[in-house]
Amino acid sequence: MSKVCKQYKITGKVQGVFYRRGAQQKAWELGLTGRVLNVGDGSVEVVACGDMEHLEQLEEWLWEGPPRAQVEDVESWDVPFKHFTDFLIG
């Protein structure tokens, strides 16, 4: 199974609601690597690498987020594969 990387931009009430921690835990559960970080415009950015099936499952979670999040939009696009050894919060 080939591995790919996708980048996501999540907007809405996604900072200060444990969104990054939840995304990290979901990525670990799915065996994905990458990173998640807060962006200055109030959004959250995720780069995740793994197989497409697990990336699709992550994207479903990104639309939901943790209980206190209010996700308005999730944009995604393919990015060149990068070898991450873990899924880190930045």
Catalytic positions are 20, 38
Cα(78)–Cα(13) distance, rounded to whole angstroms?
A: 24
As given in the structure block, the two tokens for residue 26 are: 């979901």
Structure tokens at 69: 């999040």
Alpha-carbon gap, residue 10 to 72, rounded angstroms: 8
Whole-angstrom distance, CA of residue 30 vs CA of residue 87:
11
